[in-house]
Amino acid sequence: MTLNILDVSLRDGSHSVRHMFTEAQVRAAAKGLNAAGVRYFEVSHGDGLGGSSLQYGLSATDELKLIEAAVSECTTSEVAVLLIPGIGTKQDLENASKLGAKMVRVATHVTEADVAAQHIELARTLGLKTAGFLMMSHMAPVEKVVEQAKLFESYGAEIVYVTDSAGAMLPKDVTDRITALKQTLQCEIGFHAHNNLSMAMANTIAAVEAGATYIDGSMRALGAGAGNTQTEVMIAVLERLGYETGIDLYKLMDTANDVIAPIMQQSQEITSSSLTLGYAGVYSSFLLHAQKAAKQFGVDERDLLIKIGQMKAVGGQEDLIYEVAQNLAR
C-alpha cells in the first residue's frame, strides 16, 4: 500500500514559532520537501487561512506571500492550505488557489462538519484536492465521528481526517475511529497526530494499519503543543514496516536538520505543560496562550489547562484562557 505523506511543518509549526515564518525560511523548507519527494505540504497561519489576528496571533509575513513562495519552489510537490470556517473565508481560499495551492483541508470541530459545506463545494469547483478535517476527534464517540465524516463526504470531500488536535488519543481510540470510517465511507481516510502523551508515532501506525492512506507529520516534530509525528522518523519507521512512501529519507533529514532546526524557538519535547494538554484533552495550539496567561495572572499553567479541559473548550475559544486564568487568580 502506497501512503500519501503530508508535512505540516509550515502550518502547524507556525504555532510553535509564534507565526514568525519568513519568506526565505518557507522557500528553503519548500525546496527541501520538494527535493525529498514529499507529495503534499501545508502552508498557512497555524489557525489556517485568515488566521493572522490579535485573537490567534499576528503573522510576521502575509500568508499569501508565504504560499506564493512555497509554490514557486515546487516541481513535483503540491502546496496544501488549511481553512477553518469562521476564521478563513471563501475569498481566502480563492486567493490561495490563484497563487497555486492545490489542496485544502477544511477543518471543523468534530461535531460541526455542517458548517463546512459551502467551503468544500467551492474547493471542488476550484479543482482543489479537498479534505474534511475533524478536529478534536477524541471528544466524540465513534458513532458521532462517523456521522460527521459522512457529512463531509456528502459535501464532496475526497478525504476525511481523524484529527487528534489535543494529542489525547491512545492507539485503540485511533483504531476504532479509522476502522469505523473505513467500513462506512467511500472516500480516503487521513490521520493527524499530536505528541502530547508521546503517542503520535504509535497512533500514526495504528491509523495506517486500520486503513488510513493520508498521514501527517512535521519535520523535527515542529508543531503545536509537543508537536506532531516527526516526519523523518515516521518515514524511517514506515519503510521498516514495509510501506511505500516514495520519499528520499536522507534529503528529508537534511531539510529537517539544516532548515527547520535553526528556525525552532524551543525543542519539541514533552514538557509538563504539553503533557497536561494531552492528559486534559486540550487543543494543542492553546499551549503558548496558556503559558502567557499563567504568567500574566500568576497561576499554575497546569491548573489552567486542566480547568479549560473540564470546560471542554475548543479551537476558537482562545480568549477563554485569559478569563479562566483571571478567575483562578482570584
Residues with active-site annotation: 15
Q: How many CB atoms lie within 10 A of CB 235?
A: 24
- Inter-residue contact 70 to 43 (CB < 8 Å): yes
142-163 b/e (C-beta count within 10 Å ≥ 16 → b): eeebbebbbbbbebbbbbbbbb
Q: What is the DSSP string of 25-72?
A: HHHHHHHHHHHHT-SEEE-S-TT-TT--BTTTB--SS-HHHHHHHHHH
**3-class DSSP state of 249:** helix
Angle subtended at Cα 184 by Cα 183 and Cα 189, rounded to the nearest 5 degrees: 80
> In whole angstroms, what is the distance from residue 64 CA to residue 43 CA?
9
C-alpha cell at 212: 488510513
Burial zone of 94 (CB within 10 Å; 0-12 exposed, 13-18 middle, 19+ buried) = middle
> How many Å from the N-terminal Cα to the C-terminal Cα in the chain?
56
User: Is residue 128 a contact partner of residue 109, using CB atoms and an 8 Å limit?
Assistant: no
Question: Burial level of 174, CB count in 10 A (0-12/13-18/19+)?
Answer: buried
Angle at which helices 142-155 and 117-125 cross, to 10°: 40
